[in-house]
Amino acid sequence: MRSKGALFLLLLLFLLPSSSFGQEGIEKEVREFIRKTLPNRKIKVKDLKVAFDQEADLYVASFIIKDKRGQRPMMFYISKDRKLVFVGKVYQLKSGKDLTFRLAARYLPPPPRRVRKIKKDLLTLRGPSLGSGDKKVVIISSPTCPHCRKLVSELIELVKKDPNSFTLFYKHFSLSSKELARALEYVREKHPDSFWELVQICYQKKRDEAIRWVKEKWGNDFLEGSKEMDERIKEDVEEAEKIGVDGVPAAVVDDTLVIGERRIREYLKLGKR
């Protein structure tokens, strides 16, 4: 699952301005520190809390980041002298004990609900669809995600065996492979009867094999793409982010967004694999 707002994955060490302030003062300084170091000014921070943990001998700052993709909890640590900020795992030097899990369990805000209602008009259903079931399922995923590969392949097989189980729609989320995204979009538009066959190939075989399959059938035209094609690929990603998709696989079942392979399986009653 990718994160444009995860600034603290990029930070190893930062200097906080030194001053003689108490608990209220440190919260103010931490808020200012976050404001200055955020890579994207459109990101909002809420529910900021700073507490001193005796066992770790550190201050723990926890909060929720909110942007167009949704909300997610974050946490970092501040040295006792209130000069340095740390991220990552926390260990006791002498014992080697990992304190990270306990600190997260105690201080990290709960994540936003991974199953939630959305407004139907925020999501465009793009064909061709697969199946004829009453329940509409929009799969938002990427063939480069291992959890997506298992889930999407299984859903396609299920609907082929029982067309009345669901009506499947597909949105390509990742832009990590422009060739693959263009291949899917090209076949969706020019050869819709072969679209789900290509989706299945993308999720069952390697990227190069999927690209070769398209080339052998229709040549290399899709590689050049077009402004309109690239715009539609971009719009699918932006639309997914707008409804709160912050990782894949995700699925919209009628008007409910479900994120994560396990949760999707549970929601659709697919069983475990």
Rounded Cα gap, residues 213 and 206, in angstroms: 11
Rounded Cα gap, residues 50 and 3, in angstroms: 23
* pLDDT score for 19: 39
Domain layout of the chain by residue ranges: 7-112, 117-268
* pLDDT score for 72: 72
pLDDT digits (tens, 9 = 90+) for 148-199: 998 999 999 999 999 999 999 999 987 567 888 999 999 999 999 999 999 9
CATH class of residue range 117-268: alpha beta
Rounded Cα gap, residues 78 and 187, in angstroms: 52
Q: 59 - beta bridge partners?
A: 52, 78
Q: Do the Cβ atoms of 166 and 135 come closer than 8 Å?
A: yes
pLDDT digits (tens, 9 = 90+) for 36-66: 887 666 778 888 899 999 999 999 999 888 7
Residue ranges of alpha helices (H) inside the chain are: 23-37, 100-107, 146-161, 178-190, 195-204, 207-218, 221-224, 227-242, 261-268
SS3 assignment, position 139: strand
| Residue 121 clears pLDDT 90, i.e. is over it | no
Just give the CATH number of 7-112. 3.10.450
* Mean pLDDT on 116-144: 91
* Mean pLDDT on 1-5: 45
pTM of the model: 0.62
Identity of residue 118: I
Q: Do the Cβ atoms of 36 and 79 come closer than 8 Å?
A: no
Q: Dihedral of CA 257/262/265/266: which sign? A: negative
pLDDT digits (tens, 9 = 90+) for 185-236: 999 999 999 999 999 999 999 889 999 999 999 998 887 768 888 899 999 9
At which residue do the structure tokens 């340095």 appear? 84
